[in-house]
Structure 1
């Protein structure tokens, strides 16, 4: 299913459309934030490869790596297909609404990991029929959205990048405002902290 999609083209078309609501968060220089905002034991600095490893793990298990957003235990990942530099799969999870964080809705995402270019695309969908015959329908309460997570910058000073586009009929300022807190957070995003503790065996203390 997902191998039939051109994830990048679909994302960029939605991003450029006049009625959609697009948000690009500021690039995060991960090692700079680690130095400035954390005590890390043992000391550590990310490489681009290690930051991409985080993206790959997060894509497969969002409830583990984004526990502040995804309902614990709600995530399901359907079989991966590898072709060239790409890895495609579909995931379904319950996620907090962007503008009403006390409510959850089911989110269906067709995922493409571009391992060569270190880009991850998540295309939202209204409906998905799983290989076992179960049919999933996206929850109500917010527009379908597409996401691009990527790793950029020098190998020894990688950047964490994040773009999201909501498939609205006209730009929605309430959705844009919902991302202000993320954009202004001086700490690393939760999925990087989880990766450091869980996979890289580092102790973190915010300061």
Structure 2
């Protein structure tokens, strides 16, 4: 393929919030190098990190403008199988996020999507779920075991995944929350001990 191949993407300028989001079309994509893979994005999940970067609250420096989005599910040009031929003959760039039609990743940065998950479900796993998993099981010598206690704070994505992982291995979960509705949600998940810190500040 020639270097004139084009793609489309969303760009964001930091500190402007969502008003800084603009679409760009007919963007050239350069030649792949090494073991990079060009993939077509099917679904993207956005999280707090993306909002923080857009509003200037992200603690690390960002470029003047960038493609947002950290997590996506893709299907490449060969029915989901990345072949050496695709890797060597397609075009792309790895400098940007995933809120674009085409994106480039190192081959080692790609994992297969379980067949029982939709593209949207898969796109939502890679941040909160992996963070929770690493916290509980990332160190094999300290991995969570049945009967141990886990304390989670709030009902955000990381906490909800951590609760489900912990319960699955037989751990005892203590969860804090701020409202009765969220108490009921946690109890429905099977949390053994729910503490509402608004109604029980002590």
TM bin, normalised by shorter chain, reads under 0.3
Give the structure with the larger strand fraction.
1
Higher relative contact order (CA 8 A, sep 6+): 1
Q: TM-score, normalised by structure 2?
A: 0.23
Kindly name which structure, 1 or 2, has the bigger radius of gyration based on alpha carbons: 2
Give the TM-score normalised by structure 1.
0.23
